[in-house]
Structure 1
Amino acid sequence: MVTATIAAAEALDGLSVADIAKLDFSRVVGLTNEPNMPSGGGETVRRVLQLAHPRPGRPVLEVGSNTGYTSIEMASWLDAPVTGLDYNPVSNAFATHKAQRTGIDNVTFVLGDGQGMPFEDNTFDLVFCSNVTSFMADHAKAIDEYYRVLAPLGVLAAVPIYYRSAPPEPLRSAVEEAIAAPLKVTDKDYWVDMFSREGVSLVEDEPYEYVRQSGERIAEYVETVTRQPHLELQPAEKVAALRERLAHFYELFDENLSYCGYSIMLFRPGHPNPEPVLHATRPARTTSL
């Protein structure tokens, strides 16, 4: 963990307690090594792999890998090379160390921007982007990049967060400030339209709702995140400031998510059977005679 610890320590050394109190969520994630998993956590990652069926040995990409949770989870289940792309070098250092520490040797973390990725066309069988597109200035440009690097008959998997009902404007504005990116009030149809392209089929769409968390649960999670070894070397006042900042974000996001839902969406260019279904179905309910 030497490289990751040095990277985080150097970043924290240049910050005062007052500076930490102004950091956006992404910066705090990088400094604390917060897991930053997709909505639904590991269950969502495993569900994507189950639905997408990536072929053995074929490359997989996660856009916005952050501290590595999803890329490492995917690599642990796949006999294939996995690449995580993120623009934050501190997060990449943590992700690389975590993979090494856990013995996952088929994952690599690359520094880069999802709106202009350093990869050749038609490279990856599966491109996973969770909700990272929401944080990018140009959604369409980013999604064009995802499709550019996606191999023929590959799968683009997204887990976008969207609003099921409109939030109060002060709440939306506060979340926008927290993530340091424009936050549009988008619904599910917006993301389906954004990811849709001529010749692309939406082959899976599983919607989910969020469950509110108690203040005690949030406090426990903050304590877990800030109890990591690399933070033990930091002054207590800086760790306390990070803890306070994380608690602020989690409470704010929990309130915002009460207006939201998310979906696991899989898009496939060139799908050979794009015909619509006339007689729609749904899972059968259990009944007894």
Structure 2
Amino acid sequence: MSEPDAISAPITALSPDDVRVLDFSSVVGLLNEPNMPSGGGRTVRRVIAMARLAPGARVLDIGSNTGYTSIELASWLDAQVVGIDINPVATAFAKAKAARYGLANVRFDVADATDLPYPSASFDLVYCSNTTSFIHDHRRARDEYYRVLAPLGRLVAVPIYYASPPPESLRRRVGDAMGVDLAVTDQDYWRDLFSDGEATLIEQETYEYVRQSPERIASYVKSILDQPHLESVDARVLQAAAERLTHFYELFDENLTYARYDILMYRCGHPNPEPVLHRTRAVR
């Protein structure tokens, strides 16, 4: 089965051999893997606290996949949330989950981040986790984010970058797993990318990753495969999926020893200068 067919087909239509060659994004969409941002729900809630959105705000989540971040935003905010993703199978999972929890303030569209189907100045908050890393044209995507951002709106990005260069063999393996030619980017790259002549970086927080044990990875894989919608799937297909997920998680865990991630918040048309002469730090 070709990769495009595999992405749009349900897992019940796949063989074990089909599953063994899928990239991570395809597996996520087929299994309804949560696909959390770095830091999970805590990161999303931190973004909510930083953004301080007014009631009725309009929020766009770039790369919503199976819906974790969009649903988290909608469950906490008095806001209208839109999640977009190019994967129709993952988007269907997201829609079903939102309906299951009765969240009427979130919707999901199948759309391309480099050609957003919304008018200019449509959103008060545009959120993108590490999605931009896997888009071929980073700058075109960035331009679209700002195009749909309203005056005084916030753009929040949570990019993963390398704090130290990884071995080339590891970089290639991670790129193969994600289905992209993964670039080695650093913190400055993402700050520069999201900088815009009319936007000001108003918040930046930096985090590092903690290694996971094989037992924790195995437990997480089991929790994904124990979902009710997978009960009728052939055991051989599920075994192939478990092996594929375990491979991905172990690979990513190794890769993240070289990486960090930031929460970057930009304000479009911010009226006051942000640089200060006398810097300060919190007293601990």
TM-score by length of 2: 0.96
What is the CA distance between 1:176 and its match in structure 2?
0.2
What is the CA distance between 1:276 and its match in structure 2?
1.1
Provide the residue aligned with 1:184 in structure 2: 183
Opposite residue 177 of structure 1, the aligned amino acid is D
Provide the residue aligned with 1:233 in structure 2: 232
Provide the residue aligned with 1:206 in structure 2: 205
Provide the residue aligned with 1:169 in structure 2: 168
What is the CA distance between 1:9 and its match in structure 2?
10
What is the CA distance between 1:93 and its match in structure 2?
0.8
What is the CA distance between 1:252 and its match in structure 2?
0.2
C-alpha RMSD of matched pairs (Å): 1.3
What is the CA distance between 1:118 and its match in structure 2?
0.6
**3-state secondary structure, aligned to 1:59:** strand
**3-state secondary structure, aligned to 1:128:** strand
**2:266 paired with 1:279:** no
What CA deviation, in whole Å up to 9, does each residue of 1:38-89 have, x standing for no partner? 0000000000010011121021010000000000000011111100001111
Alpha-carbon contact 1:62-1:71 (below 8 Å) kept:
yes
What is the CA distance between 1:12 and its match in structure 2?
2.3
**3-state secondary structure, aligned to 2:115:** coil
Provide the residue aligned with 2:130 in structure 1: 131
Provide the residue aligned with 1:69 in structure 2: 68
CA distance in 2: counterparts of 1:76 and 1:19, whole angstroms:
36
List gaps (5 residues or longer) in structure 1. 1-6
Opposite residue 119 of structure 2, the aligned amino acid is E
What is the CA distance between 1:10 and its match in structure 2?
4.6
What CA deviation, in whole Å up to 9, does each residue of 1:161-197 have, x standing for no partner? 0000000111000000000012111110000000001
Alpha-carbon contact 2:85-2:111 (below 8 Å) kept:
yes
Provide the residue aligned with 2:20 in structure 1: 21
Q: Which runs of 4+ in 1 moved over 6 A?
A: none
CA distance in 2: counterparts of 1:267 and 1:275, whole angstroms:
11
Opposite residue 141 of structure 2, the aligned amino acid is A
Provide the residue aligned with 1:4 in structure 2: none
Q: Between the two proteins, what is the percent identity of the paired residues?
A: 60
TM-score by length of 1: 0.94
CA distance in 2: counterparts of 1:275 and 1:102, whole angstroms:
40
What is the CA distance between 1:94 and its match in structure 2?
0.6
Alpha-carbon contact 1:55-1:125 (below 8 Å) kept:
no
**3-state secondary structure, aligned to 2:152:** strand
Q: Using the TM superposition, name which of 274-283 and 248-257 deviates more.
A: 274-283
List gaps (5 residues or longer) in structure 2. 1-5
**3-state secondary structure, aligned to 1:266:** strand
**2:71 paired with 1:45:** no
Count of matched residue positions in the alignment of Structure 1 and Structure 2 = 279
Evaluate the alpha carbon distance shift between residue 161 and residue 77 of structure 1 in structure 2; reply closer, same or farther with a 3 A threshold: same
Provide the residue aligned with 1:57 in structure 2: 56
